[in-house]
Structure 1
């Protein structure tokens, strides 16, 4: 039986944040496993910024009617991949065939991502979407397959599954294909110290406390019930789809639900980040359609129900399409 013990290295090389859950390389179901593609799911659990992976225990241990593991990886609210199994898992059931994926034993044929959102009153977060694209592109490249080998469970299921909900799977595959096509994309970084590109009120103080900072320093402020946004100004070269990444130093005293505002073609979108964890690295906030021109594009707001200091360090924009 094949295993995918290489999964952690491949995902990290693609810029995906990874948590290895226990002895995941040896956690698997008996039976064949020779994957040729990736299958997308949603967990049906309600995740949030403060409870980012409610289905993690079930995906590892299973249910009374279905023993675990239930996927190869769970994708949490913040887009972090939790690796659960390097071998066969009970996630796909019988495949009825979809695209190049044949009919047969789906657990043999596919690597499964369980994306942790409920799929009824909640859709995939931008961070989950972006991380799932990166991970899928990296794994299909490793398997020597193209983007058509990525499918949704509702496409292969013989029992009427609806997951993953609220996603156009053809668009998602196209986004995977774009990431697999290579090439050099336009990208720019704005730090809190970038001249003429960062504005904030005097309430945003300067700190050099954390060694996880980007550049020489970063800004911090207390949370309040008013916006007081620290803005990053970016000269976007053309209207298109851009990935927005943020960098912050992590600390237990920093905010657990920091609001990042992204000024898109259809108005401001808000993404919440837990700045207590995964600091000192680029974290994907999601992909957004941004208008061309030089303007405030990404902001950090102090208006949050979270606790702890709000941090504004650096952001990065990369054109996707």
Structure 2
């Protein structure tokens, strides 16, 4: 049976923080293991800064209904990779096929990261996301595969798995591809609660109603034909092209044409989105040329002719 004894060295060489959990080189399930890709999961456990890896023991030792180990590595709240196994693990089940990953035995075909968050009212942290991107890029490079060989469990599952939730898997793969291409990996998230980075008038209320929110809460306002935007301030490190992603909770009572304004190098650009749908995940607004500097860069405007509350939650910039 093949193993991947190079895993720890590859992760560390990519700048990923690694903790080795016991006899990882010899902890594995019987059966074949000849991986061609990486599979992303969430654990369904609630992690936190003070309890960063609540599912670690289960991932090592398994459950009454499923013997461990349950992944090659667990990614904790702080983005630390806890390496559990160099061999076959019970994480993927049967693969129905997705992208270049064929149908078959998923535990043979894929290396599994269990990202420790609950996936119901908690999304992965920025540290988990960034570490997962770096680790996946490094491992796929070692395997001689491109970013399309990274999949989410919900894409390969034949039993209706939903993990990893609250993430656009195409965007995640795009970030892996950029990392593999040696592009600048600078990325920054501003949430409505980010100190010194978000400003809005008193007309914007605060709500934690939707479980699809990013962070603890989000802002909302009635649409009106006045200039009263909520601004997100970013310190863009260098002039270049940046992908702008937005996160909003979706609800039938929210706005169908919410305007996002991006202050680009050639003037303001406006992109409207339907906040009644596709919530609880990063949605790409486009790629724009941005100048360097620390200033208000993206806004959500109330100036919409559509009915429904306008939502301001989180915005992410990523250099591409």
TM-score by length of 1: 0.62
- Which residue of 2 is the match for residue 295 of structure 1? 294
- What is the alpha-carbon distance in structure 1 between the residues aligned to residue 104 and residue 235 of structure 2? 52
- Which residue of 2 is the match for residue 42 of structure 1? 42
- What is the alpha-carbon distance in structure 2 between the residues aligned to residue 147 and residue 235 of structure 1? 26
- Which residue of 1 is the match for residue 310 of structure 2? none
Equivalent positions of 1:93-108 (< 5 A) are: 93-108=93-108
Classify 1:148/1:241 alpha carbon distance in 2 versus 1 (closer, same or farther; 3 Å).
same
SS at match of 2:92: coil
Q: CA deviation at 1:296?
A: 8.0
Query: Where does the alignment leave 5 or more consecutive residues of structure 1 unmatched?
Result: 188-231, 243-264, 267-288, 298-317
Which whole-Å deviations, capped at 9, do the CAs of 1:84-103 have from their partners, x for residues lacking one? 00000000000001111111
- What is the alpha-carbon distance in structure 1 between the residues aligned to residue 175 and residue 11 of structure 2? 17
- Tell whether 2:111 aligns with 1:111: yes
Classify 1:112/1:186 alpha carbon distance in 2 versus 1 (closer, same or farther; 3 Å).
closer
Q: CA deviation at 1:113?
A: 0.2
- What is the alpha-carbon distance in structure 1 between the residues aligned to residue 237 and residue 5 of structure 2? 42
Query: Where does the alignment leave 5 or more consecutive residues of structure 2 unmatched?
Result: 187-233, 245-261, 264-286, 297-316
- Which residue of 2 is the match for residue 256 of structure 1? none
Q: CA deviation at 1:235?
A: 5.2
- Which residue of 1 is the match for residue 74 of structure 2? 74
Which whole-Å deviations, capped at 9, do the CAs of 1:150-208 have from their partners, x for residues lacking one? 0000000000000000111111111101111125x398xxxxxxxxxxxxxxxxxxxxx
Q: CA deviation at 1:319?
A: 6.8
Classify 1:122/1:99 alpha carbon distance in 2 versus 1 (closer, same or farther; 3 Å).
same
Classify 1:239/1:320 alpha carbon distance in 2 versus 1 (closer, same or farther; 3 Å).
closer
Contact 1:178 1:320 in 2 (8 A): no
Classify 1:126/1:235 alpha carbon distance in 2 versus 1 (closer, same or farther; 3 Å).
closer
Contact 1:96 1:156 in 2 (8 A): yes
Q: CA deviation at 1:42?
A: 0.1
- What is the alpha-carbon distance in structure 1 between the residues aligned to residue 236 and residue 158 of structure 2? 47
Classify 1:15/1:295 alpha carbon distance in 2 versus 1 (closer, same or farther; 3 Å).
same
- What is the alpha-carbon distance in structure 2 between the residues aligned to residue 89 and residue 17 of structure 1? 22
- Which residue of 2 is the match for residue 165 of structure 1? 165
- Which residue of 2 is the match for residue 123 of structure 1? 123
SS at match of 1:133: helix
- Which residue of 2 is the match for residue 24 of structure 1? 24
Contact 2:27 2:86 in 1 (8 A): yes
- What is the alpha-carbon distance in structure 1 between the residues aligned to residue 144 and residue 175 of structure 2? 17
Classify 1:148/1:47 alpha carbon distance in 2 versus 1 (closer, same or farther; 3 Å).
same
Aligned residues: 216
- What is the alpha-carbon distance in structure 2 between the residues aligned to residue 157 and residue 92 of structure 1? 7
Which whole-Å deviations, capped at 9, do the CAs of 1:53-102 have from their partners, x for residues lacking one? 00000000000000100000000001000000000000000000111111
- Which residue of 2 is the match for residue 11 of structure 1? 11
- Which residue of 2 is the match for residue 134 of structure 1? 134
- Which residue of 2 is the match for residue 64 of structure 1? 64
- Which residue of 1 is the match for residue 143 of structure 2? 143
Q: CA deviation at 1:241?
A: 5.8
Contact 2:235 2:292 in 1 (8 A): no
Classify 1:49/1:2 alpha carbon distance in 2 versus 1 (closer, same or farther; 3 Å).
same
- What is the alpha-carbon distance in structure 1 between the residues aligned to residue 291 and residue 122 of structure 2? 30
- What is the alpha-carbon distance in structure 2 between the residues aligned to residue 169 and residue 234 of structure 1? 25
